[in-house]
Structure 1
Amino acid sequence: ENKLCLCAGQFRGTNVHQDEMNIACNKNTVPGDKSAMNPSGIRLGTPALTTRGMVEADIERVVDFIDQGLKLGQEVQTLSGPKLVDYKKVLLEDKTILPKLELLRKEVEDFSEKFPMPSFQEI
Protein backbone atom coordinates (compact mmCIF):
# COMPACT_ATOMS: atom_id res chain seq x y z
CA GLU A 1 0.00 0.00 0.00
CA ASN A 2 1.31 3.43 -0.94
CA LYS A 3 -0.07 6.60 0.61
CA LEU A 4 0.57 9.75 -1.42
CA CYS A 5 -0.75 13.28 -1.14
CA LEU A 6 -0.43 16.03 -3.73
CA CYS A 7 -0.85 19.46 -2.17
CA ALA A 8 -1.76 22.26 -4.55
CA GLY A 9 -0.96 25.80 -3.55
CA GLN A 10 1.63 28.49 -3.75
CA PHE A 11 4.71 26.63 -2.55
CA ARG A 12 7.30 28.65 -4.45
CA GLY A 13 10.59 28.55 -2.58
CA THR A 14 9.44 25.47 -0.68
CA ASN A 15 12.39 23.33 -1.73
CA VAL A 16 14.76 26.09 -0.66
CA HIS A 17 13.57 26.35 2.93
CA GLN A 18 12.57 22.70 3.37
CA ASP A 19 16.12 21.72 2.40
CA GLU A 20 17.46 24.19 4.95
CA MET A 21 15.33 22.41 7.59
CA ASN A 22 16.57 18.97 6.46
CA ILE A 23 13.18 17.97 5.05
CA ALA A 24 13.03 16.57 1.52
CA CYS A 25 9.98 17.60 -0.50
CA ASN A 26 9.18 16.91 -4.14
CA LYS A 27 7.64 19.74 -6.10
CA ASN A 28 4.94 18.83 -8.59
CA THR A 29 2.95 20.61 -11.21
CA VAL A 30 -0.75 21.00 -10.55
CA PRO A 31 -3.58 22.14 -12.82
CA GLY A 32 -3.26 25.85 -13.48
CA ASP A 33 0.54 26.02 -13.28
CA LYS A 34 1.98 28.21 -16.03
CA SER A 35 5.27 26.31 -16.29
CA ALA A 36 6.58 22.88 -15.34
CA MET A 37 9.84 24.63 -14.44
CA ASN A 38 8.10 26.46 -11.58
CA PRO A 39 5.52 24.08 -10.08
CA SER A 40 3.28 25.24 -7.26
CA GLY A 41 2.42 21.89 -5.67
CA ILE A 42 4.30 19.50 -3.41
CA ARG A 43 4.06 15.71 -3.29
CA LEU A 44 4.19 14.00 0.07
CA GLY A 45 4.42 10.24 0.54
CA THR A 46 4.65 7.88 3.50
CA PRO A 47 6.74 4.94 2.17
CA ALA A 48 10.06 6.53 3.10
CA LEU A 49 8.71 7.23 6.59
CA THR A 50 7.21 3.82 7.29
CA THR A 51 10.34 2.12 5.94
CA ARG A 52 12.25 3.90 8.69
CA GLY A 53 9.79 2.58 11.30
CA MET A 54 7.51 5.57 11.78
CA VAL A 55 3.93 5.02 12.90
CA GLU A 56 0.90 7.29 12.64
CA ALA A 57 1.86 9.50 15.59
CA ASP A 58 5.35 10.00 14.15
CA ILE A 59 3.93 10.93 10.75
CA GLU A 60 1.67 13.49 12.44
CA ARG A 61 4.84 15.02 13.90
CA VAL A 62 6.40 15.14 10.42
CA VAL A 63 3.27 16.91 9.15
CA ASP A 64 3.70 19.43 11.97
CA PHE A 65 7.30 20.07 10.88
CA ILE A 66 6.17 20.62 7.29
CA ASP A 67 3.41 22.96 8.47
CA GLN A 68 5.88 24.97 10.54
CA GLY A 69 8.19 25.13 7.52
CA LEU A 70 5.44 26.37 5.22
CA LYS A 71 4.42 29.03 7.74
CA LEU A 72 8.05 30.12 8.05
CA GLY A 73 8.20 30.26 4.26
CA GLN A 74 5.17 32.55 4.19
CA GLU A 75 6.87 34.79 6.74
CA VAL A 76 10.02 34.89 4.61
CA GLN A 77 7.95 35.65 1.48
CA THR A 78 6.29 38.59 3.23
CA LEU A 79 9.71 40.05 4.07
CA SER A 80 11.44 39.24 0.79
CA GLY A 81 8.93 39.92 -1.94
CA PRO A 82 8.57 37.78 -5.08
CA LYS A 83 12.20 37.29 -6.17
CA LEU A 84 13.86 33.97 -5.26
CA VAL A 85 17.26 35.61 -4.76
CA ASP A 86 15.73 37.93 -2.13
CA TYR A 87 13.86 34.99 -0.56
CA LYS A 88 17.10 33.05 -0.10
CA LYS A 89 18.85 36.08 1.38
CA VAL A 90 16.09 36.73 3.93
CA LEU A 91 15.87 33.02 4.80
CA LEU A 92 19.59 32.69 5.50
CA GLU A 93 20.46 36.15 6.83
CA ASP A 94 17.46 37.83 8.47
CA LYS A 95 17.96 38.13 12.23
CA THR A 96 14.31 37.33 12.99
CA ILE A 97 14.06 34.36 10.59
CA LEU A 98 17.42 32.66 11.14
CA PRO A 99 16.81 31.65 14.80
CA LYS A 100 13.42 30.15 13.86
CA LEU A 101 15.02 28.23 10.98
CA GLU A 102 17.85 26.94 13.17
CA LEU A 103 15.42 25.82 15.91
CA LEU A 104 13.23 23.98 13.43
CA ARG A 105 16.28 22.36 11.79
CA LYS A 106 17.46 21.11 15.19
CA GLU A 107 14.00 19.75 16.06
CA VAL A 108 13.86 17.89 12.73
CA GLU A 109 17.37 16.47 13.20
CA ASP A 110 16.69 15.37 16.79
CA PHE A 111 13.44 13.70 15.75
CA SER A 112 14.82 11.97 12.66
CA GLU A 113 17.82 10.51 14.49
CA LYS A 114 15.38 8.11 16.18
CA PHE A 115 14.61 6.56 12.77
CA PRO A 116 17.77 5.33 11.03
CA MET A 117 17.82 4.54 7.33
CA PRO A 118 17.56 0.79 6.73
CA SER A 119 20.76 -0.81 5.43
CA PHE A 120 22.65 2.45 5.96
CA GLN A 121 25.94 2.12 7.78
CA GLU A 122 27.91 5.04 9.13
CA ILE A 123 31.46 5.26 7.90
Structure 2
Amino acid sequence: MGLNGSRAEKVLEDISIACNKNTVPGDKSALNPGGIRLGTPAITTRGLMEADIEQVVEFIHMGLTLALEVKAASGPTLKEFKSTLAENPSFQEKLKLLRENVETFAQKFPMPGFEVF
Protein backbone atom coordinates (compact mmCIF):
# COMPACT_ATOMS: atom_id res chain seq x y z
CA MET A 1 0.00 0.00 0.00
CA GLY A 2 3.02 2.29 0.19
CA LEU A 3 2.91 2.41 3.97
CA ASN A 4 5.52 1.16 6.41
CA GLY A 5 4.83 -0.91 9.51
CA SER A 6 5.46 1.92 11.97
CA ARG A 7 2.79 4.16 10.47
CA ALA A 8 0.31 1.29 10.13
CA GLU A 9 0.94 0.23 13.75
CA LYS A 10 0.39 3.78 15.05
CA VAL A 11 -2.99 4.26 13.38
CA LEU A 12 -4.26 0.75 14.11
CA GLU A 13 -3.30 1.07 17.78
CA ASP A 14 -5.11 4.43 17.89
CA ILE A 15 -8.31 2.75 16.69
CA SER A 16 -7.99 -0.09 19.24
CA ILE A 17 -6.62 -2.75 16.91
CA ALA A 18 -3.52 -4.32 18.44
CA CYS A 19 -0.67 -5.13 16.09
CA ASN A 20 3.11 -4.95 15.91
CA LYS A 21 5.32 -3.51 13.24
CA ASN A 22 7.38 -6.33 11.80
CA THR A 23 10.08 -6.82 9.22
CA VAL A 24 9.22 -8.61 6.00
CA PRO A 25 11.44 -10.11 3.29
CA GLY A 26 13.03 -7.35 1.25
CA ASP A 27 13.26 -4.79 4.05
CA LYS A 28 16.54 -2.89 3.92
CA SER A 29 16.57 -2.14 7.66
CA ALA A 30 14.94 -3.60 10.76
CA LEU A 31 14.61 -0.01 11.98
CA ASN A 32 12.12 0.68 9.17
CA PRO A 33 9.94 -2.45 9.01
CA GLY A 34 7.67 -2.85 6.02
CA GLY A 35 4.92 -4.93 7.59
CA ILE A 36 2.73 -5.60 10.58
CA ARG A 37 1.92 -8.74 12.53
CA LEU A 38 -1.64 -9.48 13.57
CA GLY A 39 -2.48 -12.23 16.04
CA THR A 40 -5.58 -14.22 15.14
CA PRO A 41 -5.62 -16.31 18.36
CA ALA A 42 -6.80 -13.20 20.22
CA ILE A 43 -9.89 -12.86 18.04
CA THR A 44 -10.74 -16.54 17.70
CA THR A 45 -10.51 -16.96 21.49
CA ARG A 46 -13.17 -14.26 21.82
CA GLY A 47 -15.46 -16.23 19.52
CA LEU A 48 -15.22 -14.32 16.25
CA MET A 49 -16.23 -16.39 13.24
CA GLU A 50 -15.30 -16.00 9.59
CA ALA A 51 -17.88 -13.31 8.84
CA ASP A 52 -16.78 -11.37 11.94
CA ILE A 53 -13.16 -11.54 10.84
CA GLU A 54 -14.18 -10.06 7.49
CA GLN A 55 -15.47 -7.05 9.47
CA VAL A 56 -12.16 -6.84 11.33
CA VAL A 57 -10.35 -6.83 7.97
CA GLU A 58 -12.59 -3.96 6.85
CA PHE A 59 -11.67 -1.99 9.99
CA ILE A 60 -7.98 -2.65 9.30
CA HIS A 61 -8.41 -1.48 5.70
CA MET A 62 -10.13 1.73 6.86
CA GLY A 63 -7.31 2.34 9.35
CA LEU A 64 -4.61 1.84 6.72
CA THR A 65 -6.48 4.09 4.29
CA LEU A 66 -6.51 6.80 6.97
CA ALA A 67 -2.80 6.25 7.54
CA LEU A 68 -2.21 6.86 3.83
CA GLU A 69 -4.15 10.14 4.06
CA VAL A 70 -2.02 11.24 7.00
CA LYS A 71 1.17 10.20 5.20
CA ALA A 72 0.20 12.31 2.18
CA ALA A 73 -0.33 15.34 4.44
CA SER A 74 2.79 14.94 6.58
CA GLY A 75 6.52 15.11 6.12
CA PRO A 76 8.69 12.07 5.43
CA THR A 77 9.57 11.14 9.02
CA LEU A 78 7.57 9.09 11.52
CA LYS A 79 7.79 12.01 13.94
CA GLU A 80 6.11 14.30 11.39
CA PHE A 81 3.50 11.60 10.67
CA LYS A 82 2.62 11.31 14.37
CA SER A 83 2.54 15.09 14.76
CA THR A 84 0.23 15.54 11.76
CA LEU A 85 -2.05 12.80 13.03
CA ALA A 86 -2.23 14.31 16.52
CA GLU A 87 -2.66 17.94 15.49
CA ASN A 88 -5.09 17.71 12.58
CA PRO A 89 -8.71 17.92 13.81
CA SER A 90 -10.03 16.13 10.72
CA PHE A 91 -7.73 13.16 11.28
CA GLN A 92 -8.55 13.11 14.99
CA GLU A 93 -12.29 13.02 14.21
CA LYS A 94 -11.81 10.16 11.74
CA LEU A 95 -9.73 8.27 14.34
CA LYS A 96 -12.36 8.82 17.01
CA LEU A 97 -15.22 7.61 14.82
CA LEU A 98 -13.32 4.55 13.64
CA ARG A 99 -12.18 3.69 17.20
CA GLU A 100 -15.78 3.94 18.42
CA ASN A 101 -16.93 1.61 15.64
CA VAL A 102 -14.18 -0.91 16.41
CA GLU A 103 -14.88 -0.84 20.16
CA THR A 104 -18.65 -1.14 19.66
CA PHE A 105 -18.08 -4.16 17.42
CA ALA A 106 -15.62 -5.74 19.88
CA GLN A 107 -18.04 -5.41 22.81
CA LYS A 108 -20.18 -8.14 21.26
CA PHE A 109 -17.43 -10.67 21.96
CA PRO A 110 -16.60 -11.45 25.60
CA MET A 111 -13.01 -11.43 26.70
CA PRO A 112 -12.09 -14.70 28.44
CA GLY A 113 -11.16 -14.22 32.08
CA PHE A 114 -13.00 -10.91 32.47
CA GLU A 115 -16.55 -10.92 33.77
CA VAL A 116 -17.00 -7.25 32.93
CA PHE A 117 -15.39 -5.84 29.83
Q: TM-score, normalised by structure 1?
A: 0.85
CA RMSD of aligned residues (A): 2.1
1:12 paired residue number: 6
In structure 2, stretches of 5+ residues that fail to align are none
1:71 has 2:65 as partner: yes
Identity rate of aligned residues, in percent?
55
Equivalent runs, 1:39-78 vs 2, <5 Å = 39-78=33-72
In structure 1, stretches of 5+ residues that fail to align are 1-8
Which residue among 2, 19, 22 is the counterpart of 1:25? 19
Q: TM-score, normalised by structure 2?
A: 0.89
Higher helix share: 2
Count of residue correspondences: 117
Query: 63-72 or 111-120, which moves further after superposition?
Result: 111-120
Q: Displacement, 1:122?
A: 4.1
Query: Which amino acid letter does the alignment assign opposite residue 39 of structure 1?
Result: P
Query: Which amino acid letter does the alignment assign opposite residue 30 of structure 2?
Result: A
CA deviation digits over 1:31-70, x for unaligned, max 9?
1212222211112332211100100111000000000000
* Aligned equivalents of 1:38, 1:10: Cα separation in 2: 7
